[in-house]
């Protein structure tokens, strides 16, 4: 029995944490956030050098051969730092190939994706709120793909898209292929920019194991979002506590006031125990298949809701300054909006959890 992290896992988190602190904290993060163009590909190259791009890719294809839990631990650190970039889409694209690709597809793509030479992403949501779940996918694909997908992470920079298509299957489309048009979408979260991708008889290949892997891919997305949310919510709490220890009113730091102290304690209580919820969901994905789907649904619903509330509380704790564009709190606030809505809001996954329990 050990429901805790190994030394290697702690080292992995520490390494990524150090990278984030060095490459993208403070004004550097702000520059990314303000910039009109997406500058995150530079950061991504650095993360790929640390091995993050191929974490779940088998060693024979040049990856680290680790599990979803390890990927989720990285997601937590990136969420904590609000690191801009294509981590989420790329991780899911590599996972789709690992779970469902033919040996030839894996040989062709995985080494490039693992090395960070190619960037992957996933196109899941149907346009106009048509749905994120495999059973809702409507884009058509056999040897060519047709349809429109929204909220594709890093759509403009990706080389390869894993597209959710009708019948709950998965198709590979190269972004440069003819018939593929990408336009940016105005997303609130500027750390994870997304685009709309239209496929007009674009050449594609189906992933042979796609239909079986699609729900698993969705579950992995939910776990990674939950992990990002935990990291972000923890950061919100840290920002709030820090502010309470420095801001003075009535001649003392405001952390002396019990009203605020209790608000911060309540925040901590919503956040810290939920770490184990995302750990469990990530662990179950690989080790406890019977529990994995429901655990992922509950973790995503619980943690992204907790993150949103933590971000709201953090604005409130900061007072007027928290409401300004200038204050960095909005970066996490908007990341919380993304984590909450991407792949379906908490209510969607609670209803799924209810159904899965046989209620």
Partner 1 sequence: MDLSYGARYDTLRAEVRAFLASSWPPAGQGAALPRSEQVFAFRRRAIAAGYLAREVPRRYGGSEQPADPLAAQVIREEFARQRAPGEARGIGTMMLVPTLLERGEEWQKEKWVPKSVLGEYLWCQGYSEPGSGSDLASLKTRAELDGDTWVIHGQKIWTSDARRADFMFCLCRTEPEASKHAGISYLLIDMKQPGIEVRPLRQMTGGADFNEVFLDGARTPRDWIVGRRGEGWLVSRTTLKHERNSIGNAELLRMQFDALVALARRARRGGLPAIQDADVRQRLARIEGYVQSHVYSGYRQLSDDLHWRSPGTLALMNKLNYTNIGQEIAKLSLDLLGDGGLLDPTGHEREPGEPPQGAEGWLIHYMASLGVAIAGGTANIQRNVIGERGLGLPRDSFAQRSR
**Residue numbers at the binding site for partner 1 (CB under 8 A):** 1-6, 69, 237, 241, 244-245, 252-253, 255-256, 258, 261-262, 264-266, 268-269, 272-277, 279-280, 283, 287-288, 295, 298-299, 301-302, 347, 350-351, 353-354, 357, 359
C-beta of 355: minimal distance to partner 1 in Å?
8
C-beta of 202: minimal distance to partner 1 in Å?
39
Pairing mode of beta strands 205-206, 125-126 = unpaired
Question: How far is Cα of residue 303 from the mean position of the Cα atoms in its chain?
Answer: 12
Question: Which of 21/273 has CB closer to partner 1?
Answer: 273
Question: Which of 2/37 has CB closer to partner 1?
Answer: 2
C-beta of 301: minimal distance to partner 1 in Å?
6
Question: Which of 29/284 has CB closer to partner 1?
Answer: 284
CA-to-CA distance for 255 and 233, rounded, in angstroms? 19
Pair 180, 198: CB distance under 8 Å: yes
Question: How far is Cα of residue 21 from the mean position of the Cα atoms in its chain?
Answer: 19
The helix/strand/coil state of 112 is: helix
Residues linked to residue 148 through DSSP beta bridges, in sequence order: 198
CA distances for 156 relative to 36, 39, 122, angstroms: 13, 12, 12
C-beta of 209: minimal distance to partner 1 in Å?
26
Look-up of token digits 């699609």: 214
C-beta of 276: minimal distance to partner 1 in Å?
4
DSSP state of 164: E
Say what the alpha-carbon torsion angle 57, 63, 67, 70 is, to the nearest 10 degrees: -130
Question: Which of 154/295 has CB closer to partner 1?
Answer: 295
Question: Which of 42/347 has CB closer to partner 1?
Answer: 347
Question: How far is Cα of residue 93 from the mean position of the Cα atoms in its chain?
Answer: 12
Question: Which of 251/320 has CB closer to partner 1?
Answer: 251
CA distances for 128 relative to 66, 148, 149, 335, 347, angstroms: 36, 9, 9, 21, 19
C-beta of 281: minimal distance to partner 1 in Å?
9
């Amino acid at each position: 029995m050990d429901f805790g992290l190994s030394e290697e896992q702690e080292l992995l988190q520490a390494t990524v944490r150090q990278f984030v602190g060095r490459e993208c904290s403070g004004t550097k993060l702000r520059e990314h956030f303000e910039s009109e163009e997406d500058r995150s590909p530079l950061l991504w190259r650095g993360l790929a050098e640390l091995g993050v791009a191929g974490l779940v890719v088998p060693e024979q294809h040049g990856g680290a051969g680790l599990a979803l839990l390890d990927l989720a631990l990285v997601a937590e650190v990136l969420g904590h730092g609000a690191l801009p970039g294509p981590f989420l889409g790329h991780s899911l694209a590599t996972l789709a190939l690992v779970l469902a690709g033919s040996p030839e597809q894996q040989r062709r793509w995985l080494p490039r994706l693992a090395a960070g030479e190619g960037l992957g992403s996933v196109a899941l949501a149907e346009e106009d709120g048509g749905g994120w779940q495999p059973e809702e996918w409507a884009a058509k694909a056999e040897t060519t793909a047709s349809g429109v997908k929204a909220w594709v992470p890093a759509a403009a920079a990706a080389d390869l898209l894993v597209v959710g298509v009708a019948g709950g299957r998965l198709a590979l489309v190269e972004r440069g292929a003819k018939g593929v048009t990408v336009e940016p979408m105005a997303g609130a979260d500027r750390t994870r920019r997304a685009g709309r991708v239209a496929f007009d008889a674009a050449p594609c290949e189906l992933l042979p194991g796609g239909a079986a892997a699609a729900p698993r891919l969705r579950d992995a997305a939910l776990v990674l979002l939950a992990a990002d949310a935990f990291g972000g919510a923890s950061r919100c709490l840290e920002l709030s506590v820090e502010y309470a220890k420095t801001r003075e009113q009535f001649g003392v730091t405001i952390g002396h006031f019990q009203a605020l102290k209790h608000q911060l304690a309540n925040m901590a209580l919503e956040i810290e125990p939920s770490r184990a919820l995302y750990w469990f969901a990530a662990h179950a994905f690989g080790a406890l298949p019977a529990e994995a789907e429901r655990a992922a649904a509950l973790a995503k619903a619980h943690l992204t809701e907790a993150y949103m509330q933590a971000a709201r509380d953090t604005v409130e704790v900061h007072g007027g300054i928290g409401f300004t564009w200038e204050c960095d709190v909005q970066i996490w606030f908007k990341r919380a909006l993304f984590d909450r809505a991407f792949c379906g809001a908490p209510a969607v996954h609670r209803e799924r959890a209810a159904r899965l329990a046989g209620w």
